[in-house]
Amino acid sequence: MKVAAYLGLDIGGTGAKAAVYDGAGHLLGAGRQPYEPSVSPEGHAEIAIERIYTSARDAARQAIHTASVSVRALAIASQGQTFAPLDAEGHSLYPAILWYDSRAVAEAKDLESALRLRLASGESPLVDAIASAPKVLWLRRHFPEQLALAHQYLLLPDYITYRLTGEAVTDPSTASTTGLCAEGEADYNPAALVAAGIARDELARIQQPGTPIACVQRRMAEEWDLGEDTLVVTGTNDQYAGALGAGNCQPGILTETTGTCLALVTLFPEARSLSDAGLLQGRFPVAGLRYALAYAKTAGLVIDWFARQFGAGRPLAELEGLAAASPPGSAGVTVLPHFDGMVSPVPNAASRGAFLNLTLGHTTGDLYRAVLESIAFSLRENMELMQQAGFRFTSRRSIGGGASSDLLMQIKADVTGQPFERPAIHEAATLGAAMLAATGAGEFSDVVECSSTFYRPGQVFIPDTRHHDQYGGPYQAYRHLYSLLFNNSSGETT
């Protein structure tokens, strides 16, 4: 009988992560394979879909080899929006366009207008410049010959599931990022499909997270070091998988992820109304609960950018050492981390990054600390947005790559004045995906039961009250400088 081991895949913006867990949620093996999308001067972010696929495969093989067990089931956590057009043989006709690419501003306006005319009733899909459908329209306008051969438009989890099983399947949250269905809906909106000129059979089938899809095909089993009886289970968006992995299965818990972006997730009962709060919302993979989401498009991306452009080859640990020697407030330097627009608390696609109040006396450590503090300031203003909407937090948990930094964890606690926990497994999206895999395989009755077994608390970072007081002025400077530079700028809401 196969050992009860479960594989969680996390397909992110800069790499693929994989981890194998046993039936009690203990980590048995992990793997990671980075990749680097190309970003043009115009902000077009692309990468070959095959590059992402091979990274996911190699990360999974690394995790499986380390674990030395057979995988009973797997599920995928992934970013939304990112997609590639495929021909009838499944070959990519154009590189995958990354989720934060906002080239399709004009097409989003066109699609939204067309949809408004056609939609008679019901909840309207969210159409913005980062949704997949407007980018399909952009490709048709700029590469009509290639797109004439398009047979399918698949998002990352759909594509990998298709390669593994021959079935293109996605979950409602991921499907909603196409702009072709409302969050949580079980099918695509007919009016949106007509407006975009996309047929239903050109998209992945939608089914609920934690439900079985199919077993891995024989040739894929050999390629991935899986068994032919390994079950593939529907996953979900990486932010919600991460929330599951951090034990966020009931109201009152806040999970924040510092990865490519900064994302805050908290839950509330379906019966509660949450309108005009400036927060994204939708159905969570726990029955009876909805999520409220606030996020900033660029967080870890800014850390990576700074290290690459100004780190002079230093590892992040060395940069952190320099930043730790800089005082709270970074000796007066203020950074605005919105390098590709702001989503929340106030949507503004025209927002951009900035380093302000520089003097000849500032050091690399001051600048890097200011980058870290800007992420904490963004976290604080989005927490305040959620609190204004009536949310109260009894627990705050940090996950993602940024949670591995003790310095950033402490800065977040100091800036917000609130304790933050780093769960025992803070790369929580792979754990959440494994929870869905275990639930889909019948190991648990539901994902809440699985979470109570898999989640384990970790270190808590307590705010230094003196430092919190010192951050009052720098935080207000961050808010004030943003308003001076961008409150009067016009941009498409994203």
Is the Cβ–Cβ distance between 173 and 148 less than 8 Å?
A: no
Is the Cβ–Cβ distance between 235 and 78 less than 8 Å?
A: yes
Fold match, 5-239 / 248-422+464-494: yes
Is the Cβ–Cβ distance between 420 and 237 less than 8 Å?
A: no
SS3 for 462?
coil
What distance in Å separates the CA atoms of residue 462 and residue 482, rounded to the nearest whole number? 28
Kindly give the confidence (pLDDT) of every residue in the chain, 494 residues in length, as a single tens digit, with 9 standing for 90 and above: 456 899 999 998 889 999 999 999 999 999 999 998 998 988 899 999 999 999 999 999 999 999 999 999 999 999 899 999 999 999 999 999 998 888 999 999 999 888 877 765 556 787 888 899 999 999 999 999 999 999 999 999 999 999 999 999 999 999 999 999 887 678 999 999 999 999 999 999 999 999 999 999 999 999 999 999 999 999 999 999 999 999 999 999 999 999 888 999 999 998 787 766 678 888 899 989 999 999 898 999 999 999 999 999 999 999 999 999 999 999 999 999 999 889 889 888 889 999 999 999 999 999 999 999 999 999 999 999 999 999 999 999 999 889 999 999 999 999 999 999 999 998 899 999 999 999 999 999 999 999 999 999 999 999 999 999 999 999 999 999 999 998 755 443 33
Q: Is 343 exposed, middle or buried (0-12, 13-18, 19+ CB in 10 A)?
A: buried
Which residue reads 């972006």 in tokens?
261
What local confidence, expressed as pLDDT, does residue 155 receive?
96
Domain spanning 5-239, CATH class: alpha beta
Domain ranges of the chain: 5-239, 248-422+464-494
What local confidence, expressed as pLDDT, does residue 121 receive?
56
Task: DSSP letter for 339, please.
Answer: B
Q: Widest CA span of the chain, in angstroms?
A: 67
Domain spanning 248-422+464-494, CATH class: alpha beta
307: amino acid identity, one letter: A
pTM, two decimals, is: 0.88
What local confidence, expressed as pLDDT, does residue 426 receive?
87
What distance in Å separates the CA atoms of residue 55 and residue 160, rounded to the nearest whole number? 11
Task: DSSP letter for 217, please.
Answer: P
What local confidence, expressed as pLDDT, does residue 347 receive?
86
Is the Cβ–Cβ distance between 381 and 481 less than 8 Å?
A: no
Residues with Cβ within 8 Å of 174's Cβ and at least 6 positions away in sequence, in order, are: 78, 80, 155, 157, 158, 236, 237
Is the Cβ–Cβ distance between 274 and 251 less than 8 Å?
A: no
SS3 for 321?
helix
C-alpha count within 13 angstroms, C-beta hemisphere, residue 3: 15
Strand partners, 292: 266, 281
What distance in Å separates the CA atoms of residue 170 and residue 209, rounded to the nearest whole number? 8
Which residue reads 């290639």 in tokens?
146
Q: Is 118 exposed, middle or buried (0-12, 13-18, 19+ CB in 10 A)?
A: middle
